[in-house]
Amino acid sequence: MSRTSGCARVVKVFALALSGLTVVACASANKAALRQASVESSKSLAAGDYGKAIERCKKLYEKDRANGKIVSSCAAMIEQVKTAGDTARSQGKYAAAQNAYRVLAGNWDGFSALARRLTFKKTDLEAGLRDCRLAVSERQFRQELESGNYSKAIAVYQSALREFPEDKAMKAGYAKGVAEIVETGAKALAAKDYARAGRIDGFLLKNLESLKAAAGAAAGGGSSRESLAEAFRVCSMELANAGLAEYRKGNLENAIAFWDDLLTFDPDNAEIKKAVETARAQLGKLKSSSKGGSKGGRGGQGIRGAH
């Protein structure tokens, strides 16, 4: 064997050895990167930052889609985020559940090749988002209804329907909500809570057609514009007359309270506005003359009862 061929063989062996060392070094680097990404993703997952957890896996996956360990690790992290969303949903933590589902749905195309490894589909995420949105809407509607914020209560479902315009459950929830407001108004009127009934009937009168158009004819609970207008008139009349009765007895503060209740749902009632102004002026004079004494005083005859 010539000296030249011997040198060539040594160079070849050295090159192969160097190549092997490079492969080992790269493999070690990949393992370290995978391990680091796994640790950081787990921390993000524990903190509820599902976006960061998925983003770290996504970067590794995009760099080396053929690496089986990276693929398995990413699939496992995706499953963990889905499980976290399901757990939050079962606990009534709908905002957290929506966050998890939304992150996965938003990144689904980037992980489409992993779909066969997963236990769920994109449609499952979309269904979860709809169910959470409906649950959140029902909860917010209830809070606003109990607070007497009828416009805000309906706005909750209106917002949800803009997001899911064709969802039957959302439409049914909206219709049920409107019908419940109608029923609440009827119960308030029967209980002679004229202030609350008047506010509800006034709101329904202003929005009845749009409510029925959006949530269906059943949303009005069978109420017609005529029946609502009559209930509104009764509420206005009862509060006006209750205020007048207190005024005539000299109970000016009580009279003003009744009339203020009326003005919350009938703010353009000029006669009641004038009555309130008169009563307040008289009350001010009484308090001034008695140096903060009596809350009463005989009312004048310039205020008439409602008919």
Q: What is the mean pLDDT of residues 57-85?
A: 87
Contact predicate 104/85, CB 8 Å: yes
Contact 262, 239 (CB under 8 A): yes
**pTM score of the predicted model:** 0.69
**pLDDT, the chain, mean:** 83
- Answer yes or no: is pLDDT of 25 > 50: no
- Rounded to an integer, the average pLDDT of 41-59 is 80
Beta carbons within 10 angstroms of residue 189's beta carbon: 20
CA distance 303 to 307: 13
- 221 dihedral zone (left: phi>0; alpha: psi -120 to 50; beta): left
In the chain, domain spans: 38-120, 131-223, 231-307
Q: What is the pLDDT of residues 251-275, one digit of tens each?
A: 999 999 999 999 999 999 999 999 9
- Strand, coil or helix: 293: coil
Question: Each residue of 107-140: pLDDT tens digit?
Answer: 998 887 888 999 999 999 999 999 999 999 999 9
216 contacts 175 by C-beta, under 8 angstroms: yes
Give the pLDDT score at 215.
Answer: 60
Give the distance, in angstroms, between the CA of residue 136 and the centroid of all CA atoms in the same chain.
Answer: 5
In this predicted structure, what is the pLDDT of residue 38? 60
**109-129 burial string, b = 16+ CB within 10 Å, else e?**
eebeebeeebebeeebbeebb
